[in-house]
Amino acid sequence: MLSDNHMHTQYCPHGSDASMEEYVKAAIGKGLKELTFTEHAPLVIDDPTPENDSAMSREDVEAYINEGKELKEKYRDQVTINIGFEIDYIEGKEEETLEFLKKHSDLVPHSILSVHMIRLSSGEYFCIDYDKDAFLEKISEVGYDTLVSKYEDTLYKALSNPYGELTPKTIGHITLINKFEKAYDQIDTIDWVSVLEYIKEKGYQMDYNFAGLDKPYHEQTYPPEPLVKKAIDLAIPLRFGSDAHHPDEVGRYFERSLKK
């Protein structure tokens, strides 16, 4: 059963104004049988991005959940609709994140755990995927190796079941650190096979994320095809995700997916 398990909504400040229902209609039109809304959960830190647009506001959480439930009932005979969050793993803020997960424990099974923010030695939180210029500037400040090493360390912490039984067991776009890789001349030093083995060991599913194909400095899925093949060899469950921020992106590029 083909499903899109990573979708955003009008509650995302860096997304579109299209309604959740428009995403549902797009999914039905593409023949999907299941979809999962995974809106960015409110951050437990001050947003470090210039536009302060990384995640939904706390004031919108209830409206998002209620709208999703209404659509789930309205379209129950046409498509299965799940409601979850994309939870940011924020190093040093595990307790605050756990409190949010406790309030919404029923949505944890359909949620994704992702790393967008890394905490540098200065204590500063840096968003790795905000834009190319910000990433290149941070390379010049702290060094590429420092950024990559910190991302790798943070990813392993996210994979260590940091919230116990309330840890979302789908890990999002693991190779997001490489979003701007065509904009600089550096070699990725992360041992991705070891990362996959740890994903397997800890019992996570993996977000097979097609958004990277539309990123001009990446043009690959997250993770890229060789790592997806390795994940299949390791019997890591894959969760297809468009990472749609507009209805037109629902189910994007799924036709390119690897066949088991």
**Domain residues for 248?**
3-256
- Return the structure tokens found at 135: 């990433």
Domains contained in the chain, number: 1
The pLDDT score that the predictor gives to residue 1 is 54
Do residues 229 and 258 make contact, with C-beta atoms less than 8 angstroms apart? yes
Which segments of the chain have a pLDDT < 50?
258, 260
pLDDT 10s digits, 124-147: 999 999 999 999 999 999 999 999
Q: Which residue has the tokens 């790592």?
A: 227
CATH number of the structural domain spanning residue 234: 3.20.20.140
Q: Tell me 27's DSSP state.
A: H
Do residues 52 and 43 make contact, with C-beta atoms less than 8 angstroms apart? no
Do residues 39 and 9 make contact, with C-beta atoms less than 8 angstroms apart? yes
The pLDDT score that the predictor gives to residue 258 is 47
